[in-house]
Structure 1
């Protein structure tokens, strides 16, 4: 049981003088998910990884159940360590948090990168996303078997990937390198995925944006890429679809993914 509410933010290459890159993980995971690609990024960025509230080594406090509060906590910790705009990259639910930070604190963000993420995760008649029944099932199962729920979610994330078994095994190993997430954090995260909707605010994003998707992704279908493009300034928006990836392109196609992040750093905007 974690005894502190502090958030865990770690710098991986303190001697590097390049642009700061902050990586935020997705639901159920922790900052260790980035370990396989961090070495390939450290010659281009000062790389930071962070555990979101209640995940990994980060503590949880009751107000974190509110999405805006939790996102503000993340933003404040980043600002306490980095005194200039960073490249802020978030995967899945982490991309939702990163988007909220870019909206509320644009001066702290040099470029926003979302990875297999969406401003609204729930599927509707007009929007591609996660089936509401799937999220309801996860929430129902969470109360009876936390570990089984996380393991099932890992399987759903890898669904469609040509390397699904290997990816699930890799994610399980990385997940186990940190403490088990707080049940309250898992519950809150599922609620955010079901309820948070930032679509109407995307046009207000005042920083350059790079959006990365997996063509085989069953949780965040790549088809939403075009839908989002209609609300963003073409000058400040880039998107890329990894053809062989599902929900975790940085695991399925690590070399191409790293190149995409390097390109984001090299982009003019």
Structure 2
């Protein structure tokens, strides 16, 4: 199934009947990231899972987007599907979108489950000396890759070589257009949205998460109006998959049995 509007399209899957639950995947993920949870929740609810634009079977957005753009698109998609108020389960980048969605479109959001969500602006995260060194070397080498110095074609090749050498795995596989979107996404301050979230929030985190350290979860618990934290000891950024039976039981209790 496909939703289209304003030059973008969202491919999505849907199963079940009843209360609406939306599952939002992380960066580089897709509908398949939620296959077990969609299967299990759809026995008692209507579960809808989108591929974010630029992911899965959804085409890239027409221009570089930030998190607010993704949240607006998801809000439009939810309205088109007739959702009046949905529960949201989100991982990583999907959680960034869920935070903005809950703040900007509170009429669409009932409850939130967030796992492994980086939240720019929430904590002062100082990069390690090694990371600062790599960043400095990258900036210095990129300055040399100027079309005025080496020509346009050679500059593009050199810059791509730098990306492959210094970029993160997520960044290296992106198209040039999606790299611009990625840069806008990671730069957007999300902490400013937190005071506006009224929905109850369940935080489920792995204490070995290096992409979104456990300190973020603890800070979120303190900053959100109505939040609780469950920590999976020994689990990493993908706690929702590593500890799936436990994750499912907690989500089921929070969304379906705690009413």
TM-score (norm. length: structure 1): 0.73
* Contact 2:116–2:212 under 8 Å retained in 1: yes
Shift of 1:51: 0.7
**Paired residue total:** 232
Distance 2:159 2:55 in 1: 15
1:82-101 correspondence runs (5 A): 82-101=82-101
1:180-191 correspondence runs (5 A): 183-191=176-184
* Contact 2:111–2:201 under 8 Å retained in 1: yes
Out of 197, 200, 213, the residue aligned to residue 192 of structure 2 is 200
* Contact 1:122–1:132 under 8 Å retained in 2: no
Shift of 1:5: 2.8
Out of 6, 11, 14, the residue aligned to residue 11 of structure 1 is 14
* Contact 2:23–2:48 under 8 Å retained in 1: yes
Q: Say if 1:93 and 1:105 are closer, same or farther in 2 by CA, change over 3 A.
A: same
Shift of 1:221: 0.8
Q: Which residue of 2 aligns with 1:24?
A: 24
Q: Say if 1:153 and 1:60 are closer, same or farther in 2 by CA, change over 3 A.
A: closer
1:174-185 correspondence runs (5 A): 183-185=176-178
Q: Say if 1:207 and 1:220 are closer, same or farther in 2 by CA, change over 3 A.
A: same
TM-score (norm. length: structure 2): 0.75
Higher relative contact order (CA 8 A, sep 6+): 1
Q: Which residue of 1 aligns with 2:235?
A: 245
Q: Say if 1:261 and 1:152 are closer, same or farther in 2 by CA, change over 3 A.
A: same
Distance 1:84 1:10 in 2: 18
* Contact 1:121–1:220 under 8 Å retained in 2: no
Q: Say if 1:244 and 1:63 are closer, same or farther in 2 by CA, change over 3 A.
A: same
Q: Which runs of 5 or more structure 1 residues have no equivalent in the other structure?
A: 155-179
Q: Which residue of 1 aligns with 2:66?
A: 66
Describe the superposition over 1:29-86 as per-residue Cα deviations: whole angstroms up to 9, x where unpaired. Answer: 2121111332222223221111111111112233342332232012111221033200
Shift of 1:99: 0.7
- Secondary structure at the residue paired with 1:260? helix
Q: Which runs of 5 or more structure 2 residues have no equivalent in the other structure?
A: 1-6, 143-157
Out of 210, 214, 217, the residue aligned to residue 218 of structure 1 is 210
- Secondary structure at the residue paired with 2:213? coil
